[in-house]
Amino acid sequence: MQNYYKYLIWVGIATLVILSVFILAKTDQVLNTAATTNTVSFNGEGKVLAKPDVAAISLSIVTEAVTSKSAQDENSRKSKAVTDFLKDQGVEEKDIKTTGYNIYPQYRYPQYDKPEIRGYQVNQTMEVKVRDLDKVSSVLDGVVSAGVNQVNSLSFEIDEPEKLKAEARQKAIEDARAKADELEDQLGVDLGKIVNFSESIGGFPGPIFYAAERGMGGGGGPSVPTGENEIIVQVTITYQIK
């Protein structure tokens, strides 16, 4: 009988321990839920306008010849001429980079026979950064004369945008905080600590126009206004409601 009572006591203690753990877990869950559900979020936006300080140009040199060796040799000659011209314009070697180099066979298709290789095409793509924006027009005009066949793209960028992003972020945070202060006054609520923060960054380069009366390769070069770049940061700040 004594052993039976001891057994009941141990069962009772074990039950109490299990119930205590369960109650503590439920209490913690309720507290955590309250901390996350009694919240309010505010969006803020910050914009910064800045003039670009570098032009990024993508160029292609396309060369065709009967043999792959002669196509490569001719392409190398043009590439050197383009590189020498860019250096003469003050473009540093670190700002001239080959981003693609491909050799393609060129076929002829006889009406009743299998395709035949008639020659080879070499396509070399280069990315150039021009930091003196006053020279962009003359660079575009000169590279074509030096051997460039295609100007694939031109964009005006900010070389080190991190400071401007930080400025736009600060404006966005101030915008969100102002909205939070306004809600506190309007509803008479007290906001507590920040429990979540997120941001997204975007921006749009300034427009690029080419004068219709001036084609590349002559006539003094194209007209390329730089415009302004807009950096936009959007933030979301979530506060706990006390």
User: Mind listing the pLDDT tens digit for each residue in 6-32?
Assistant: 555 655 565 654 655 444 444 444 444
User: Which position has the higher pLDDT, 129 or 17?
Assistant: 129
pLDDT at 170 over 90: yes
User: Which of 9-23, 99-113, 219-233 is the least confident region?
Assistant: 9-23
CA atoms within 13 A on the CB side of 226: 21
In tens, the pLDDT along 32-47 reads 444 456 899 999 999 9
Tell me the pLDDT of the chain averaged across its residues. 83
Q: How far apart are CA 45 and CA 175, in angstroms?
A: 6
The predicted model scores a pTM of: 0.64
Assigned token pair, 140: 């575009």
Q: What integer pLDDT is reported at residue 223 of this predicted model?
A: 74
pLDDT over 90 at 101, yes or no: yes
Q: Who has greater pLDDT, 134 or 220?
A: 134
Looking up tokens 């300080």, which residue turns up? Answer: 53
